[in-house]
Structure 1
């Protein structure tokens, strides 16, 4: 009986020692370290707003899908700021606290993000500036050549005005002052328009790319200057172009060229219907997929050199590894060969409610 009793005592002792050895490292780990472990295979994705259809329908889905194809164990930790800087700051800081080591950031306000980005970088977090070049110590930047896009927009206005361009007055509705892309669009548009049209008769930067604000500014200008006070309207994006088109319609003004950007479905329908002259098509898929691959490589400590053939400079950092994609003008004449053939929009959805115009444009 003595040997079994001794065995029982030894088993209890070993069990207690094992429990103590397991408990010791757990006790040593605070909540911060536990959170840090939770983020080791996570990639943060912070998008700026949900008014533009592209972010949830395209960017988020494409990025998440590409990351899943590259890394079965990886998780995309996604949040949308709904155009609020305070929301995005809280979301960003929460990701860092979790221990997420790579964050894809499309900043609501590029300048405001500087302090968060710098603080995260000091903790070893790699931030990829997506679509908009955030200030601070970002590790990479993926977007488009935004000055070239602005030039394309200006060229679109000139093409729509045709032989009347030199005698035409243009209204310019520029993008949000907090978006670092907006000054580049504006600069490019001016490079195309200045000296080619008679005058820029009114110019306004529209906070938060607000469609309602663009509509009001356009309506106020029409009230002050009359229907004959301008010949074309440059709009930095399609959302604002929708507000501008509504203001023109309310005033009974027709056949005034309006340009936009983003190739959103309502804008494409306006282009087919003739209330918007053109939009700019930026293929989201290559931008999003490249960003996803850069994020995965940074997560695993691999080189991103082959994915970033150029560099970009912000106000706070130079020589940022970058990939800048091209864009193209979309009009009624080339819509079938661009956004439709690329699968960016289905012809049946495009033509809902405008069947006759679609048929005339060869889209049906």
Structure 2
């Protein structure tokens, strides 16, 4: 748990990486104060590295802050780096943290397959890897912690079917490089396929969304509307960011609020759309539970303590010891008893004064 020597060179390299990341084409938002790198000071403490795909979406700030707070509370040191949606930057950041001597590397992969190289590099340095929220594919990952992502897709499709049981459906997926996006679609199709086979549903549009970019989701939805002359009866959107793009596209055709649209992540804007009747549902995944459980796991792994798992998920190479949490449907009717009750969002944030 003692940092490796040549720390000054590593730190200078880190600054160059961060500058490169900030100049990346993916960086479209002004960094918040929470983007600043948290440097470690006590060399006798457990040192955890947290490598994020991005901080450009609302939910990842919550993960970052909650994870860091829990590690600190448990007596560890932590440094978080975000790659701004760049595969090469994420690899470079992981290398730097490994060279600094992190005891455990917790990774939210940008690219599920490419991140296998991070695992290989970490293991060469005897550093354990926890795959956080998104599964790293085809690698000897030590642990995986996430939500039941197949169930997320099932919840989305089931709630939409409560509002529309037939007609033309569009699926606006996430980034295909994200294994979760594949699982969300698989879960949704598990629900939709019987209806498709019976001829009740026509899946007229089915496309992933590069980089989970809401602007691309909007473009895809406009394409679906054009291809069907505006005849869309329901939309399964893989997350809330995409749902925002979908609703914008529907609005150009006067359809916003008239057809069901799913989402995920319980983002504030999405919950406001649910209240306004523009979005049908979101999937609430208690980020506080995910981040804090992951932090506890990381500290235990670093100290060679016994790790509790409740599942094993195959990543194409091994069955990864996993801990999966339960997601929950949120609609207009249960906002108060879910996300407000958990203080995930406040009543004032959602409804105003």
- The bucket for the TM-score relative to the shorter chain is 0.7 to 0.9
Distance 2:248 2:8 in 1: 54
Are residue 53 (structure 1) and residue 52 (structure 2) matched? no
Distance 1:315 1:40 in 2: 35
Q: How does 1:295-306 map to 2 (within 5 A)?
A: 295-304=298-307
Are residue 141 (structure 1) and residue 144 (structure 2) matched? yes
Are residue 66 (structure 1) and residue 62 (structure 2) matched? no
Distance 2:328 2:148 in 1: 11
Distance 1:172 1:52 in 2: 21
Note the residue ranges of structure 1 that are not aligned, 5 or more in a row: 1-28, 356-364
Offset at residue 87 of structure 1 (A):
1.4
Offset at residue 321 of structure 1 (A):
1.6
Are 1:40 and 1:101, in contact at CA under 8 Å, matched by a contact in 2? no
Q: How does 1:150-169 map to 2 (within 5 A)?
A: 150-161=153-164, 165=165, 167-169=166-168
Q: Where does residue 343 of structure 2 map in the other structure? A: 343
Over 3 Å counting, the alpha-carbon distance change for 1:220 and 1:294 in structure 2 is same
Are residue 257 (structure 1) and residue 260 (structure 2) matched? yes
Distance 2:222 2:336 in 1: 33
Q: Where does residue 360 of structure 1 map in the other structure? A: none
| TM norm structure 1 | 0.82
Offset at residue 298 of structure 1 (A):
1.2
Q: Where does residue 89 of structure 1 map in the other structure? A: 91
Q: How does 1:164-313 map to 2 (within 5 A)?
A: 165=165, 167-196=166-195, 197-227=200-230, 229-254=231-256, 255-304=258-307, 307-313=308-314
Offset at residue 39 of structure 1 (A):
9.0
Are residue 317 (structure 1) and residue 292 (structure 2) matched? no
User: In the TM superposition, what whole-angstrom CA distance separates every residue of 1:189-219 from its partner, at most 9, and x where no partner exists?
Assistant: 0111122242111100111111001101111
Which of the pair is proportionally richer in helix? 1
Note the residue ranges of structure 2 that are not aligned, 5 or more in a row: 11-41
Distance 1:350 1:343 in 2: 12
Q: Where does residue 18 of structure 1 map in the other structure? A: none
Are 1:104 and 1:128, in contact at CA under 8 Å, matched by a contact in 2? yes
User: In the TM superposition, what whole-angstrom CA distance separates every residue of 1:101-130 from its partner, at most 9, and x where no partner exists?
Assistant: 201100011101111211211221101000
User: In the TM superposition, what whole-angstrom CA distance separates every residue of 1:333-355 from its partner, at most 9, and x where no partner exists?
Assistant: 11111111111111111113xx7
| TM norm structure 2 | 0.85
Give me the CA root mean square deviation: 2.0
Over 3 Å counting, the alpha-carbon distance change for 1:211 and 1:33 in structure 2 is closer
Distance 2:303 2:132 in 1: 19
Over 3 Å counting, the alpha-carbon distance change for 1:32 and 1:63 in structure 2 is closer
User: In the TM superposition, what whole-angstrom CA distance separates every residue of 1:2-35 from its partner, at most 9, and x where no partner exists?
Assistant: xxxxxxxxxxxxxxxxxxxxxxxxxxx9637997
Are 2:263 and 2:281, in contact at CA under 8 Å, matched by a contact in 1? yes
Larger-gyration structure (1/2): 1
Are 2:238 and 2:264, in contact at CA under 8 Å, matched by a contact in 1? yes
